[in-house]
Amino acid sequence: SFHDEPLFSIVENMIIGNPSAPLGPKTPRARRTKLIATLGPKHTDSNALSELMDGGAEIFRLNMSHASHDFVRQVVPKIRSLASSRSQELALLLDTQGPAIRTGTIGKPRHLSVGDELILSIDPRAPAPAIPVNYPDLVHDLAPGQKLLVDNGVIHLEVIRKDSTSLGCRVLTAGVLGDRRHINLPGIRVNLPAITEKDSADLLVGLKAGIDWVALSFVRDPDDVIALRSFLDRHQGQEVKIIAKIEDQLAVKNILGIISAADAIMVARGDLGVECPYEELPIIQRRIVKQCIVSMKPVIVATHMLESMISNPLPTRAEITDVSNAVFEGADAIMLSGETATGNYPRACLEVLDRVARRIERSGSIGYEKDIHPEGEADGIVSSGVHLANQLGAQGILLFTRSGRMARVAAALRPRVSPIYAFTPTLSLARQLALHYGVRARCLPFDRTEREALIQEVIADLLTKGLVLPHAPLVIINTSIVGDRIYRTVQARTQPDAVSPKLPVPSKLKLNLAP
């Protein structure tokens, strides 16, 4: 119900957790929804990067529509150095510009009124008042009666005639047309490559710098994702994961195949909101989030989360509700763009997302994870572990994974209160898991045989840092090889009051698993 807890307990619970959870400890409640911060020119400064980390950012986005190669080379080592000093595994996400259709340079902005005629030409030498466009197939792809959207949907045009090199268009909504404005062709499959020459150059710089994720812009079908995978494999990027950005009607139509081909999905509501009727956007977002959760793929909700905070210190009530809906639906991550890249209050924006996410997570979610059907014995063991953690109100789920599969399955099942402490011997995998719901991953070498001593060492470290408390349950999901047999186990343990002196915490366990 609306009044499901006394008002006086709300602030207390934000600090110490929910005392009513069965056997739940009063340790700081870890935020499970992840936060992505887009970097801008000011983030070549280490102090500015530290502010984003202090605000709660776990993934840093390099937007190659604006970032230069020199910027990438400067900022990536600084992020890695700062993360190492904090004993954190943070992820780097390179976002490609993609195959953008734009108007050319026209000099003085043109004021367009409803009913005006505007000529768009594919001839770069066409004389004024024609507007040059950089897409050679524009005339071929459109016919009289079809519509174009210019400048992120601000200006609507309708084709009324065409010849071999130009389109005559009627202005349907007034606006001011400037240089290099983006053009959307709703429902039209444009004849442009998934990876442009600029994208290729950007990707090579990113791979050399050590990125963890690539977000591919304007994905239309699974073949676009496969093309990027092939490019990465040819350039020593086999370990890099792919995020498919859903930005137009074709992507929505092919969403099942795209989810299957990609490692993660981004609901990029900027262009998607232009391409689709705006009243459909919330439904599209909800359906994509659900399908990703059921498919056990992470999903990001992005664009205009806190747009007003680019210039204002506080969010609007509508923005708070929008963020709340994304968290309530169960998104793995929510992303800030201009709010952190160029805005005046980057840390405050992250703190708003952090506060809202923690509060909404405590109130529950839609529960799309109930439709997940575990695949095979290993996934079933993880599912059992998550179910046990939910039943006990466990203070954490501890698991060891080489491929990341166990952590991904556990995250998709959306544990209600338990953070997922995932340990992997691969540094790149630990960083990639930063995107997944509720996962606190760290790089830790381990062998494939009996690892009871290591489990106890990890638990001792968690106890020492106050991340778990004595006499509160902790669920452990483990796979061991003894001889030629594989043993998969789920255990629930309560911890002693003190760490055993026989099990000192080794120096390799430099963990920062706090929220």
Q: Mind telling me the catalytic residues?
A: 61, 102, 245, 303
Number of H helices, E strands in the chain: 17, 21
Using an 8 Å Cβ cutoff, are 401 and 425 in contact?
no
Q: How many CA atoms lie within 13 A of 324 on its CB side?
A: 13
- Report the run of H or E that residue 390 belongs to, with start and end: helix 376-392
Q: Which amino acid is at 461?
A: D
As given in the structure block, the two tokens for residue 60 are 């840093």
Q: What angle do CA 261, 267, 270 make, to 5 degrees?
A: 135
SS3 call for 72: helix
Q: Which of 292, 303, 363 is nearest to 327 (CA)?
A: 363
Contacts 24+ apart (CB under 8 A), 421-430: 421/396, 421/397, 421/458, 421/462, 421/513, 423/398, 423/399, 423/458, 424/400, 426/239, 426/402, 427/89, 428/212, 428/239, 429/239, 429/401, 429/403, 429/404, 430/89
Cβ–Cβ under 8 Å, residues 254 and 220: yes
CA-nearest of 296, 292, 295 to 326 is: 292
Closest by CA to 406, choosing from 427, 429, 431, 388, is: 429
